[in-house]
Structure 1
Amino acid sequence: MKFERIQPPACLKDYVRYFWILESSDTDRAPKTFLPLADGCPGLLFQEPDRGTFYGPMQQKLPGIFVYGQTVNTIELYSVGNVRMIGVYFRPDALNSIFGLNASEYTDTCLDLNAWAEEQGVSLLEQLVAIRSAVGKIERLSAYLVDQIKRNTARPDALIPYAVARIIQSKGTVSLKELQKTAHLSERSFERKFNQRVGISPKVFSRICRFQASLSQFRADDFNRLSDIAFDNLYADQSHFIRSFKEFSGFAPNQFQKRSLELVENFPQLIH
């Protein structure tokens, strides 16, 4: 499998972390299983329809291009045929800031982006298929995202992006009460706004950020014992860390290491 990461244009850096390309060889048509991990960010997937097809956990055929919301519960995606995939790794509040969506409505589910685009008179999937190069497809996707941002009538709110940045910076350990007071919002209003912009509650987002910090340490092999990771990331103890890891990845740490091939960050292929 070939993997490539591409930085977004300057006009999209506040909305997109990066684009990525994953492609199997023409002879590799073996079915594959992918496991999107809870990472605090929504995303977009485009799969060349004439090369292969993606299916969801209930064996339902997925659209050729779709955006997905926050991943909280472990969900397996199945690929049949060749993989020729382009992904967009969005910022945490991108469903709202780009498309004007209530992000909470798309947690653990997806939106058919071609159907959305066709309502605006754009045959996005057809246009992407007609472009031969992956870089050309990414340029078209970038132009489409910029157009969506221009169309978005949702009022920008700096409070939630600030809270998101603080939670990420602290690796999920910042006081939510402190953030709520800084925003001059009641607990209920803060949670409602956060849910709408990000798709999950501040508490769940914090837990995912702490899981991601521990996962980064685990990937880097920067520990002697699992209890070191638990201590460094302020888990109560090793068993608490392992429970959290399993909740957001579907596996205990050592199982995850044996069962996953992670070419794409937080989108590993499972090894059977």
Structure 2
Amino acid sequence: MRFQQFFPPDYLQEYVRYFWVLESASDCVEMRTFRMIADGYPGFILQQAEQQLFRDQTQKQWPRAFLYGQTTTAGDISVPGPFRTLGVYFHPSALPAIFGFNADELTNSCVGLDLLAPSLAERLINTQSVPKQIELLSNYLFEMAQKSKAAMSKDIQYSLRQIDKSSGGICLRDLHQTLGVTERSFQRKFKQCVGIPPKLFSRICRFQVSLNQLRNHQYRKLSDVAFENDYGDQSHYIRSFQEFAGCSPFQYQKQVNELVENFPLLVQ
């Protein structure tokens, strides 16, 4: 398989982390299974091949082009035969700023692009050139962001930076007190902008930091990872990892091939 990553144009960097493309060999015939892992980021996926669409664990086919929200638990999707997929990773609070709806409306769910922008969905599907597809998507996203009345919240942007800076360990009470808002107001606004409560986002952030340590082999033993990320003990860390990754840290290292960040191929 071949993976490519593309940085967004300057005018989209406030909303988009990066674009990515994953494609199999044209003679691929076996079923491939990927795992979607909780990572704190919403996204978009375009499936180029009409006959080889992602299927969930109930064998239900996903739309050819769809927008998805926060993922809070791991889930497997499969695709038969050759495929090419174009994806977009947004920043955590980008959905309301671009599309004008509350992010929690898409948590653990998705919506087909044909419902949001039918003509764009058709143009993307009928366009073979990846740079042209990215250009079409970029123009659409920027146009939507310009029309949206929901600007990026400075308070939520500040909160996201502090949570990331602390690797998910910041005291949320200190955070909303610093912002000068009540806990209830902070919780409500964060969920509307990001899609999940700040406590859950912080837990996912901490999990992602530990996952990066595993990816980069920055530990001697698993208990070191648990201790360095403020888990109560190794068992607590393993339970949290299983919640967000769908398997134990040991199984993750042995059973996945992560070409795309947080979207690994399961090794049969």
**TM-score of the superposition, structure 2-length normalised?**
0.97
Does 1:228 pair with 2:224?
yes
Separation (CA, whole Å) in 2 of partners of 1:94 and 1:145: 10
In the alignment, which of 128, 133, 153 is matched to residue 129 of structure 2? Answer: 133
2:16 matched residue in structure 1:
16
Partners of 1:51 and 1:82 within 8 A in 2: no
Aligned residues of 1:51 and 1:84 also touching (Cα < 8 A): no
**Which of 195, 211, 216 is the equivalent residue of 2:191?**
195
| Alignment match, 1:91 | 91
**Aligned residue in 1 for 2:202:** 206
Q: Unaligned 5+ residue runs, structure 2? A: none
| Identity within the alignment, % | 46
CA RMSD of the aligned region, Å? 1.2
Distance 2:12 2:197 in 1: 25
Structure 2 letter corresponding to 1:217:
Q
Residue 262 of structure 1 aligns to a residue in which SS? strand
Mapped partners of 1:112, 1:57: distance in 2 = 19
Aligned residues: 268
Q: Is the 8 A contact 1:23 1:85 kept in 2?
A: yes
**Is 1:103 equivalent to 2:99 in the alignment?**
no
After TM superposition, give the deviation of residue 145 of structure 1 in Å. 0.7
Structure 1 residue 202: deviation in Å? 0.4
The question of whether the paired residues in 2 share the 8 Å contact of 1:40 and 1:92 is answered with yes
> Counterpart of 2:160?
164
Are the counterparts in 2 of residues 44 and 87 from structure 1 also a CA contact under 8 Å?
A: yes
- Report deviation, 1:148: 1.1
- Structure 1: segments with no counterpart, 5+ residues: none
Q: C-alpha separation between the residues in 2 aligned to 1:109 and 1:14?
A: 23
Alignment of 1:1-272 (within 5 A): 1-50=1-50, 52-118=52-118, 123-272=119-268
CA shift for structure 1 position 150: 1.3
- Which residue identity lines up with residue 78 of structure 2 in the other structure? Y
For each residue in 1:128-183, what CA deviation from the matched residue of structure 2 results, as whole angstroms up to 9, or x when unmatched?
A: 12222111111111111111101211244210111011101111001101111122
- The answer to whether the 8 A contact 2:23-2:85 is kept is yes
2: CA distance between counterparts of 1:79 and 1:188?
A: 42
Deviation at 1:51, TM superposition (A): 5.6
- Measured after TM superposition, the shift of residue 26 of structure 1 is 0.7
Distance in 2 (CA, whole Å) between partners of 1:156 and 1:74 is 28
1:43/1:87 contact within 8 Å kept? yes
Kept after mapping to 2: 8 A contact 1:35/1:74: yes
Q: Within 2, Cα distance between the matches of 1:10 and 1:51?
A: 35
Q: Which amino acid aligns with 1:36?
A: M
Per mean C-alpha deviation after superposition, the further-off stretch among 223-232 and 151-160 is: 151-160
d(CA) in 2 for partners of 1:102, 1:209: 21
Q: Is the 8 A contact 1:29 1:81 kept in 2?
A: yes
- Kindly indicate whether the alpha-carbon contact (under 8 Å) linking 2:97 and 2:149 is maintained by their aligned counterparts in 1: no
Q: Secondary structure at the match of 2:88?
A: strand
**CA offset digits 1:213-257 (Å, max 9, x no partner):** 000001111111001101111111111111111110010001011
Q: Distance in 2 between matches of 1:34 and 1:137?
A: 23
TM-score of the superposed pair, with normalisation by structure 1? 0.95
